[in-house]
Amino acid sequence: MTSDLDVVIVGAGISGLACASYAARAGLHCAVLEQAAEPGGCIHTVRTSQGFWFELGAHTLYNSYGALLEILDRLGARACVQTRRKLPFRLWVGGKARSLASEVALGELLASAWRILGARKAGRTVAEYYGALVGARNWQRVFSPLLAAVPSQRADDFPAEMLFKRRPRRKDFPRTFTLAGGLTTLVERLSRQENVCLRTRAAVAELGQAGSRFVIATEDGARLTSRSLVIATPPAAAARLLDRLRPDLSRVLARIATTEVVSTGVVLAQGQGGLPAMLGLAPLADDFLSLVTRDVVADEQRRGLAFHFRPGLTRDQRLAVIARVSGAEPASFLHVAEHTAVLPSPGRHHPEIVAALDDLLRIPGIYLAGNFFGGLSLEDCVIRARAESDRLLRDLSARSNR
CB atoms within 10 A of CB 231: 29
What is the tens place of the pLDDT at every residue in 329-368? 999 999 999 999 999 999 999 999 999 999 999 999 999 9
Interior CA angle at 243 toward 238 and 247, to 5°?
A: 110
| Per-position DSSP letters for 230-280, written without gaps between them | EE-S-HHHHHHHTTTT-HHHHHHHTTS-EEEEEEEEEEEETT-SSPPS-SE
Fill in the DSSP letter of residue 135. Answer: -
Q: How far apart are CA 10 and CA 230, in angstroms?
A: 6
Superfamily of domain 4-43+181-256+347-400: FAD/NAD(P)-binding domain (3.50.50.60)
Q: Which of 13, 8, 45 is nearest to 235 (CA)?
A: 13
For 117-162, the pLDDT digits (tens) are: 778 888 899 999 999 999 999 999 999 999 998 888 999 999 999 9
Give all strands of the β-sheet with 176-179 in edge-to-edge order: 61-62, 176-179, 81-83
Instruction: Give per-residue burial for 45-78: e unless 16+ CB within 10 Å, then b.
Output: bbeeeeebbbbbbbbbbbbbbbbbbebbeebebe
Instruction: Tell me which H or E stretch contains 185.
Output: helix 184-191
The residue ranges of every structural domain in the chain are 4-43+181-256+347-400
Q: Which residues have C-beta within 8 Å of that of residue 208, sequence separation ≥ 6?
A: 214, 215, 217, 244, 245
Q: How many other C-beta atoms are found inside a 10 Å radius of the C-beta of residue 102? A: 10
Q: Is the pLDDT of residue 2 over 70?
A: no
Q: What is the average pLDDT across 105-118?
A: 84
Give mean pLDDT, residues 19-24. 96
Using an 8 Å Cβ cutoff, are 168 and 66 in contact? yes
Largest Cα span, the chain: 68
List % helix, strand, coil for the chain (3-state, nearest 5).
35, 25, 40
Residue type for position 241:
L
pLDDT(1) > 70: no
**CB within 8 Å of 283: residues ≥ 6 apart:** 91, 92, 93, 145, 289, 290
Query: How far, in Å, CA of 115 to CA of 102, rounded?
Result: 23
Spatial distance between the Cα atoms of 383 and 15, rounded to a whole number of angstroms: 9
Q: What is the mean pLDDT of residues 292-305?
A: 95
Cα 294 from Cα 290, distance rounded (Å): 13
> pLDDT for 300-331, tens place per residue?
999 999 999 988 999 999 999 999 999 999 99
Q: Which residues pair with 54 in a beta bridge?
A: 46
- Does pLDDT of 182 surpass 90? yes
Separation CA 128–CA 115 (nearest Å): 12
Question: Which tens digits make up the pLDDT trace of 161-173?
Answer: 998 888 999 999 9
Q: How is residue 108 annotated by DSSP? A: H
pLDDT (0 to 100) of residue 123: 87
pLDDT tens for 241-282 read 999 999 999 999 999 999 999 999 999 999 999 899 999 999
Supply the mean pLDDT for the chain: 93
* Percent of all residues in the chain with a pLDDT value above 70, rounded to a whole number: 99
What percent of the chain has pLDDT above 90?
Answer: 84
pLDDT of residue 402: 62
CA–centroid distance for 190 within its chain: 16
Helix (H) or strand (E) holding 388: helix 378-400
The DSSP call for residue 64 is: T
pLDDT reported for residue 121 = 86
N- to C-terminal Cα separation, the chain: 30
